[in-house]
Amino acid sequence: MKMHQFTAAALSALVLGGTMVGCTTTGAGGIASAGSRTMPHTEAAAWAKRATKAMAAHDPAAVDFAEAAVASSPGEADYRLLLGQTYLRAGRFVSARDAFRDVLLLQPANGRAALNLTLAEIATGDWATARQILTTYERDISPTDRGLALALAGDPAGAVALLTQAARQPGADAKMRQNLALSLGLAGQWPMARVIAAADLSPADLDDRMQQWIAFAQPTAASDQVASLLGVRAVADAGQPVALALVKPATTAVALAAAPVAEPAIATVAAVRFGPRQEVVQDVPAAVPARRVAKVIRRAVPVAAAPVVTPPETPVETTVAVRFAPRQEVVQPLPVAVAVRAG
């Protein structure tokens, strides 16, 4: 069975607005149409309108029209969201990934772009990034959509836990139950998947649905399941044209440069205070009597000073080696002992 036939029949119960995917990527839960709000540029709005009509008619020209809209107004997130959607419908998953990343740079809280980016990441084989996006945007993506996307991103058990809890809440609809049934199948729980799917299908349709889901659970390429959900065929894709890449406004750098810089606080040093002035009086040794000094002088015996030998001066210019004077012994006379009289 061809993929577009699978799209038309297999998951019709999951579809809102005619799209195959159980995740809501178009309409109120998907891209913003050209008339969803006032567009700032008339030319860009005209291109976006043509892209929307062409995409609804499955016209490949939708990509060209959406690219023209983005080129006319590169800073408008809605046009980039529309461009990413046309890439998905054309099977250009790498380009879609680039476009949705740009949307999130412009609108970081855009849950629709996050869900579409998740599908593009899954289709390009980056399941880890897809799961990370779902975790980051868990408050911005409905449990119904997040559950099926989680199953496609390689965590069917987590998807079953999430969708089972959501299906028990008031207001649970057929789309949620069918997403739960498909997630059960992807987790290998086919009997339970059949029970859940039977709640919204006739016996004749149930058998066909289960056979299609079994084939769906055995992809041969990373893009197979997302392409099946969208009813498209994946094509070789080099990515979004470089000319359409988002360039962050220079005002960001200006704002950072103008941001006030907190100056470090300078510690206050207290003034130095001196204590009361105090005079320090140092004791002076007692004077020695003059008579005693004279007596000591009379008893002292002079000691002959040792002769000083001065080596002969030799001109620097003619010095070849160091020469020492003849050796002389220095005899130092000893002081004469003073006789001490007895008594």
- Calculate mean pLDDT across residues 230-238: 93
In the structure, what pLDDT confidence band is assigned to residue 283 with cuts at 50, 70 and 90?
low
In the structure, what pLDDT confidence band is assigned to residue 26 with cuts at 50, 70 and 90?
very low
User: Which CATH number do you get for residue 140?
Assistant: 1.25.40.10
- Calculate mean pLDDT across residues 16-29: 40
Write down the pLDDT at residue 330. 54
Write down the pLDDT at residue 331. 57
Residue 296 lies in a domain: no
Question: Which two tokens mark 257?
Answer: 């440069």
* Candidate from 48-52, 62-66, 67-71, 249-253 with smallest mean pLDDT: 249-253
Model confidence at 273: pLDDT above 80: no
Residue 108 lies in a domain: yes
Q: How far is CA 328 from CA 68, 98, 306, 312, in A?
A: 113, 103, 11, 15
In the structure, what pLDDT confidence band is assigned to residue 324 with cuts at 50, 70 and 90?
low
pLDDT in tens, 117-131: 999 999 999 999 999
Cβ distance 176 to 196 under 8 Å?
A: no
The residue type found at 312 is P
Output 221 or 314, whichever has higher pLDDT: 221
Write down the pLDDT at residue 247. 82
Give percent of the chain above pLDDT 70.
60
Write down the pLDDT at residue 321. 53
Residue 217 lies in a domain: yes
Write down the pLDDT at residue 42. 87
Cβ distance 73 to 44 under 8 Å?
A: yes
Question: How many residues are recorded in the chain?
Answer: 343
Cβ distance 58 to 231 under 8 Å?
A: no
pLDDT in tens, 177-189: 999 999 999 999 9
Model confidence at 308: pLDDT above 80: no
Model confidence at 38: pLDDT above 90: no
Residue 327 lies in a domain: no
- Calculate mean pLDDT across residues 77-88: 97
Residue 338 has phi, psi (to 5 degrees) of: -95, 120
To 10 degrees, what angle do helices 143-152 and 156-167 make?
160
Residue 76 lies in a domain: yes
Give percent of the chain above pLDDT 90.
58
Write down the pLDDT at residue 207. 94
Tally of domains in the chain: 1
Residue 25 lies in a domain: no
To 10 degrees, what angle do helices 93-106 and 77-89 make?
160
The residue type found at 322 is V
For residues 282-301, b (16+ Cβ closer than 10 Å) or e, as one string?
eeeeeeeeeeeeeeeeeeee
Residue 269 lies in a domain: no
Structural domain that includes position 152: 40-244
Write down the pLDDT at residue 11. 35
Cβ distance 60 to 44 under 8 Å?
A: no
How far is C-alpha 51 from the geometric centre of its chain's CA atoms? 34
Residue 297 lies in a domain: no
In the structure, what pLDDT confidence band is assigned to residue 108 with cuts at 50, 70 and 90?
very high
Model confidence at 23: pLDDT above 80: no
- Calculate mean pLDDT across residues 43-47: 94
- Calculate mean pLDDT across residues 271-281: 59
CA gap 46, 43 in Å, rounded: 5
- Calculate mean pLDDT across residues 50-55: 96
7 by DSSP, 3-state: which?
A: helix
Cβ distance 149 to 118 under 8 Å?
A: yes
Cβ distance 209 to 8 under 8 Å?
A: no
* Candidate from 6-15, 55-64, 95-104, 213-222 with smallest mean pLDDT: 6-15
* Candidate from 25-34, 99-108, 279-288 with smallest mean pLDDT: 25-34
- Calculate mean pLDDT across residues 100-106: 97
SS3 content of the chain, % helix, strand, coil (to 5): 50, 0, 50
Q: What is the mean pLDDT of the chain?
A: 77
